[in-house]
Amino acid sequence: MTDEALLAGLGDGSSEVEVAFVRRFQAHVYGVALALVGEPAVAEDVAQQAFVRAWRHGSSFDPDLGTVRVWLSTITRNLAVDALRVRRPTPIDPADMVRLLGPGDDDPENVATRAETLATLRAAIRELPSEQARALVMAGVYRLTAQDVADREGIPLGTAKTRIRAAMKKLKLTLTTDHATYD
């Protein structure tokens, strides 16, 4: 059966269709949920809620807007975001906080190491082709998505992804080569 036929059959009350629908999309829905929430138990809950919502609102699916997989992924993403909003921060013992923070920012050794690392990183970025450097800085420093980079640069999404990936590979190669010469 096609994905659309399975979705349409959800409302008919056929348990065989329901089982087939869940089996077809279970790994994908759980994977999307886990990638977003990061906890297996929460991801299971989100996945279950996504299937319930698909069962209840299957009639709202519009094949002109995308595939069943994309529609179900969107439902899962929305539920995962909702789950993250509800999540309460885990309290941390103040004694552990000091240990987690490590040495203070004003430690001269840390200041010198950060300055040296930053100078090395800047020099390596300046060695990249300008379009790769721009894409890398937009994605890495300004936290823009590849789509945002593509839009701002006026290039296809695939080109933006390629520029970011190529820049990261060159940067890694340059930094690991530089680091090896210091050892």
User: Any idea what DSSP says for residue 66?
Assistant: -
Residue with the two structure tokens 């930094």: 175
Q: Indicate the class that CATH gives domain 106-182.
A: mainly alpha
Q: Which two tokens stand for residue 108?
A: 């001269």
pLDDT the model gives residue 88: 66
Q: Which two tokens stand for residue 150?
A: 């593509």
pLDDT the model gives residue 183: 44
pLDDT the model gives residue 148: 86
Q: Tell me the C-alpha to C-alpha distance, in Å, between residue 115 and each of 41, 110, 137, 142.
A: 42, 8, 18, 20
Q: Count the helix, strand and coil residues of the chain and give each as a percent rounded to the nearest 5.
A: 80, 0, 20
Asked if residue 119 lies in contact with residue 112, where contact means CB atoms within 8 angstroms, the answer is no
Helix (H) or strand (E) holding 9: helix 3-10
Question: From first to last of its 183 residues, what are the pLDDT tens digits of the chain?
Answer: 888 888 877 767 678 888 888 899 999 999 999 999 888 999 999 999 999 998 888 888 888 888 989 999 999 999 999 998 887 666 666 666 555 555 555 666 766 777 787 788 888 888 889 899 888 888 887 788 899 889 888 999 999 999 999 999 998 888 887 555 444
Task: State which CATH number among 2.60.40.420, 1.20.1260.10, 3.40.50.1370, 1.10.1740.10 fits the domain covering 3-86.
Answer: 1.10.1740.10
Residue-range domain boundaries for the chain: 3-86, 106-182
